[in-house]
Amino acid sequence: MGGVTGIRTDERASERRARVGLTWLAEPGDAVLGREIERVGPVGVLERISAQDPDLPGRRNYAVRLPRADIDACLEAVDSCGGRVVIPGDGEWPTQLDDLGPARPIALFVRGHDLRLAAVRSVAVVGARAATAYGVTVAADLAAALADAGWAVVSGGAYGVDAAAHRGALSASGPTVAVLACGLDVVYPRGHASLLEQVATAGTLISELPPGMHPTRSRFLQRNRMIAALTRGTVVVEAAMRSGALNTAGHAAELGRPVLGVPGPVTSAASAGVHRLFRETGAQVVVDAAQVIEALGLIGELAPEPSVPRRVTDGLDPVALRVFDALPARRPLPLSEVAVAAGLDPVLVGGALSRLGVLGLVISGDRGWQLAHR
Amino acid sequence: MGGVTGIRTDERASERRARVGLTWLAEPGDAVLGREIERVGPVGVLERISAQDPDLPGRRNYAVRLPRADIDACLEAVDSCGGRVVIPGDGEWPTQLDDLGPARPIALFVRGHDLRLAAVRSVAVVGARAATAYGVTVAADLAAALADAGWAVVSGGAYGVDAAAHRGALSASGPTVAVLACGLDVVYPRGHASLLEQVATAGTLISELPPGMHPTRSRFLQRNRMIAALTRGTVVVEAAMRSGALNTAGHAAELGRPVLGVPGPVTSAASAGVHRLFRETGAQVVVDAAQVIEALGLIGELAPEPSVPRRVTDGLDPVALRVFDALPARRPLPLSEVAVAAGLDPVLVGGALSRLGVLGLVISGDRGWQLAHR
């Protein structure tokens, strides 16, 4: 038993090292490599890259970084920035990422709280970097309310809506996950050093890129697929016509996860992409956290009916309402004149006036009936 | 022949007089009376009210205003405010009102341009009285663009969005129709004396209430059904949770006409009713006149694709894009280092750099390749 466990532990350790090595050689979201990993395992794939096996598709691309790939140095760098490696099969692996198929991350680099626990009931809140004050306010309020309701807020750590979402969740002492498009030790954007540190402490910071890697456009796009795959659905708060948030929404839709959007002024270019989502992809309009939770939550988590102001005339029968409407604003009117104004049989009008009187809505005097002063 | 025509003319004249009389006795939208009119004609119904025929439902209600009903005086009042009476069967009758069934107006009182011509290609633009600056701007711009495109803008002449819609259409010299909840000679709201006069001159002012009648709550609601029935669809621009505009939208939906809404900030109570429409009734999100026309117009009137900003990298093949992304912002890099950064075979990278060079996106020098300054 001990021996078998030892062998299996060794196998896991080898797989872990191989996966870390592969994150060095391949770019995120490489489904071709992913299929090879599924077929022969990460150790086998790494060996075939090293041997430049002619049957391995794209072998020359993966070989380019081989001379610099140093798995031990990489693991040390992960360690020294307080991170850990999480691979498929680990207890902390968020299995919803498996929905990405062969394009699922080869490994994850993680800092902070348990990723799987955080992500099990999570929602992506993403949007424009160039957010307006409106977008920032809405994203922060939404994230705080979602966190209050026990939902983890996942975003990309970028300026604008992303930052507001993380800050909102942190302000409510809720879990939040930032998915980076660079290594855990690379501070990007620079201005978010303190925010990302807070997320790593109170929440979880993750990347599928090994330490030292810098963000590129395609890494941002692949990062977006991770945000979509980690969460039960994606809420877009402000997005210009070509916002990366629309890319996240597209990934969510492909994965069959709901895409939600917060509307904004049609005069604001920062909301144009969200409105386009409603129009072209059937994204759902949401205005608050309760509606987000209803769309993503378990059956039974229904948003409360929106509160509608009550009026004194609510619940009046049609005849009483018509009589009430027929009374002039200030002066009293004899019953016969009320009947003419209402166009109703005086007998009906008399009954209605009595009912309205009981409710305190009308009073009668020497000169007839009038509205009660309220 | 002359005699027959004479008789038929007499019949039409009697019907017209009877319908005018009935508008005096009944409230708008009275389907019970409407069914009697369908059954025995307006002259017959008026006779049965006068005779207090016990088989006529609600006869005592209609009788209440009988002592004051003076058809000649009513016609004179219509005349003296520059109006005319339009009844079913007249050339000017907008036949889409017949979709209201027995609740269609008994007669219409009209001032200004031909109603049927205006209403044949018309859209309702309605919304909050307590509109914000945003709602007023959006309604006016939308109405002007709709008018420019040859659509008549129908609204209720109220403060806020209604007024902005009429003004927007007038500013584009387009047709606009105001549907009143009072007689043509009653100026309501008072502050709109000049606006309503402009509509009567450049557009059309209509009511199903005879001169002298003042607005009541139920008349506003019935007026809303007319706005919905006259038009191909209803656009709601700002509406609080209990806005009358939602009532118009409800009538439009009942009539099978599209309901459209202009989104706004979720922080604005003035847009809460519109967002509720999206959520609860599946109303369609629109952001401009082209999208309204696409939703309501004939087949083929498609809104243009929203303009999306172009980027220099649009249309690049995936390898060239990855190489382009791998180049650092300022310093040059030898091809071998570009290959490591991109994680791509140097042979592929060399080809991609050549293609990027031809496009003027990169330049090469002694120390390697770098982004071209643009």
Which residues of A are less than 8 Å from B340 in CB distance? 64-65, 68
Which of A25, A30, A61 has the highest number of chain B CBs within 10 A, making it the mutation to test binding with B?
Answer: A61
Residue B86 domain-assigned (yes or no): no
CA nearest B284 in A: which residue?
Answer: A279
**pLDDT in the model for residue B153:** 98
* Whether B138 and B191 share a structural domain: yes
Indicate yes or no: CB of B285 within 8 angstroms of CB of A288.
no
Task: Classify residue B44: in a domain, yes or no.
Answer: yes
B213-241 pLDDT, tens digit each: 999 999 999 999 999 999 999 999 999 99
Q: Which residue has the higher pLDDT, A267 or B329?
A: A267
Backbone conformation region of residue A213, classed left if phi is above 0, alpha if psi is from -120 to 50, else beta: beta
- How far is it, in rounded angstroms, from Cα A166 to Cα A179? 11
Judged by CB atoms closer than 8 Å, whether chains meet at B64 and A291 is answered as: no
> Measured between beta carbons, which residues in chain A are less than 8 angstroms from residue B25?
343
Determine the pLDDT at residue B231: 97
Query: Is there a single domain that holds both residue B186 and residue B228?
Result: yes
Write down the pLDDT at residue B298. 67
Distance from CA of A271 to the nearest CA of B (A): 10
CA B88 to chain centre: 24
Which pLDDT value is given to residue A309?
Answer: 74
Query: Does residue B131 have a pLDDT over 90?
Result: yes
A317 CA: distance to closest CA in chain B (Å) = 13
DSSP secondary structure of B83-109: -EEE-TTSTT--GGGGGGGGGS-S-EE
Pick from B285, B325, B343: which is nearest to A26 by CB? B343
A311 within some domain: no
Same domain, B166 and B287: yes
Kindly determine whether residue A343 and residue B62, on different chains, have CB atoms separated by under 8 Å.
Answer: yes
> Are the beta carbons of A64 and B26 separated by less than 8 Å?
no
A150 and A173 in contact (C-beta within 8 Å)? Answer: no
CB-closest option in B64, B275, B322 to A344: B64
Q: Smallest Cα–Cα separation from A235: which of A145, A347, A312, A354? A: A145
- Which of B277, B78, B282 is closest to B183 using CA atoms? B78
Closest-CA distance, B80 to chain A, in angstroms, reads 23
- Chain B residues touching residue A58 (CB < 8 angstroms): 345
- Give the E-state strand segments of chain B in sequence order: 84-86, 108-112, 122-127, 152-155, 176-179, 204-207, 234-237, 259-262, 284-285, 362-365, 368-371
- Per-residue confidence band for B315, with pLDDT thresholds at 50, 70 and 90: confident
Locate A369 and state its tokens. 């009936």
Same-domain pairing of B238 and B174: yes
Spatial CA neighbour of A23 closest among A95, A78, A98: A78
Nearest alpha-carbon partner for A284 in B186, B280, B301: B280
User: Which of A25, A291, A343 is nearest residue B27 as measured by Cβ atoms?
Assistant: A343
pLDDT tens, residue by residue, A99-150 = 999 999 999 999 999 999 999 999 999 999 999 999 999 999 999 999 999 9
| Chain B residue with Cα closest to A289 | B266
Cβ <8 Å between A275 and B266: no
Residues A148 and A257 in one domain: yes
Report the number of distinct structural domains present in chain B. Answer: 3
pLDDT tens readout for residues B104-117? 999 999 999 999 99
Q: Test B263 with A267 for CB contact under 8 angstroms.
A: no
Residue A80 lies in a domain: no
Q: Give yes or no for residue B79 having a pLDDT over 70.
A: yes
User: Which residue stretches of chain A have pLDDT < 50?
Assistant: 1-3
Q: Which chain B residues touch A54 with a CB distance below 8 Å?
A: none
Q: How far is A273 from chain B (nearest CA, A)?
A: 10
By Cβ distance, the residue of B137, B217, B264 closest to A263 is B264
B123 has a pLDDT exceeding 90: yes
Among candidates A63, A265, A306 on the partner chain, residue whose Cβ is nearest the Cβ of B272: A306
Q: Residue A358 maps to which CATH number?
A: 1.10.10.10
Do B127 and B264 reside in the same domain of the chain? Answer: yes
Cβ contacts of B288 on chain A, cutoff 8 Å = 266
A152 and A275 part of one domain: yes
Tell me chain B's radius of gyration from C-alpha atoms.
30
Task: Kindly state whether residue B82 falls inside one of the protein's structural domains.
Answer: no
Task: Report the distance separating Cα A171 and Cα A195, nearest Å.
Answer: 12
Q: From B218, which residue of chain A is nearest by alpha-carbon distance?
A: A322
What confidence score (pLDDT) does residue B300 get?
A: 62
CA distance A356 to chain B (A): 16
Confidence (pLDDT) at B1: 40
Q: Examine the domain organization and report whether A171 and A288 are in the same domain.
A: yes
A61:B348 CB<8 A: yes
**What are the phi and psi torsion angles at B160 (to 5°)?**
80, -130
The per-residue pLDDT for A179 is: 98
Q: For residue A221, count CB atoms less than 10 angstroms from its CB and return exposed for 0-12, middle for 13-18, buried for 19 or more.
A: middle
Across the A:B interface, residue pairs with CB atoms under 8 Å apart total: 141
Q: What is the pLDDT of residue A314?
A: 82
- Whether residue A273 sits in one domain with residue A148: yes
Contacts of B60 in chain A (CB under 8 A): 345, 347-348
CATH number of the domain where residue B217 is located: 3.40.50.450
Q: Which residues of chain B does A309 touch, with a Cβ-Cβ cutoff of 8 Å?
A: 241-242
Residue A347, domain member (yes or no):
yes
Same domain, B181 and B215: yes
Give residue B359's domain range: 318-371
The closest CB to that of B65, out of A242, A309, A340, belongs to: A340
pLDDT score at A313? 81
Q: Does the beta-carbon distance from B65 to A26 stay under 8 Å?
A: no
Q: Domain check: are B127 and B176 in the same one?
A: yes
Residue with tokens 């929440």: A203
Q: Closest approach of chain A CAs to the CA of B161, in angstroms?
A: 15
> Does residue A226 form part of some domain?
yes
Closest CA to A72 of A128, A16, A8, A140: A16
B59, B61, B236: best mutation site toward chain A, by most A Cβ within 10 Å? B61
Judging contacts by C-beta atoms under 8 Å, the chain A residues touching residue B276 are 306
- β-bridge pairing A122-127 and A152-155: parallel
Residues of B in contact with A307 (CB under 8 A): 241
Query: What pLDDT does residue A299 have?
Result: 60
Which residue, among A22, A134, A137, A285, would best test binding to B if mutated, counting the most B CBs under 10 Å from its CB?
Answer: A285
Q: Is the pLDDT of residue B7 over 80?
A: no
Candidates A27, A307, A346; nearest CB to B64: A346
> Distance between CA A42 and CA A16 in Å, rounded?
8
> Chain A residues with CB inside 8 Å of B137's CB?
267
Chain A neighbors of B282, CB-CB under 8 A: none
Q: Which has the minimum average pLDDT: A313-327, B11-25, B28-42?
A: A313-327
Let me know whether A15 and A140 are in one domain. Answer: no
What is the per-residue pLDDT for B328?
82
User: Hey, is A35 helix, strand or coil?
Assistant: helix
Taking the C-alpha atoms of residue A301 and residue A293, their distance in angstroms, rounded to an integer, is 7
Last residue of a domain, one of A46, A68, A90: A68
Euclidean distance between CA atoms A14 and A8, whole angstroms = 10
Least CA distance to A349: which residue of chain B?
Answer: B61
Closest-CA residue of chain A to B212: A341
CB atoms within 10 A of CB A214: 14
Distance of residue B113 Cα from the nearest chain A Cα, in angstroms: 31
Of B26, B50, B69, which one is at a domain's C-terminal end? B69
d(Cα A141, Cα A114) in Å, to the nearest integer? 25
Query: What pLDDT was estimated at residue B2?
Result: 40
pLDDT at B151: 96
The mean-pLDDT minimum among B131-145, B171-185, B303-317 falls in B303-317
Question: Residues B71-81, buried b or exposed e (16+ Cβ, 10 A)?
Answer: beebbebbeeb
- CA-nearest residue of chain B to A318? B218
User: What's residue A3's pLDDT?
Assistant: 44
Tell if the CB–CB gap between A61 and B311 is shorter than 8 Å: no
3-state SS assignment for residue A61: helix
Distance from CA of A7 to the nearest CA of B (A): 33
B88 assigned to some structural domain: no
Domain boundary among A262, A296, A330: A296
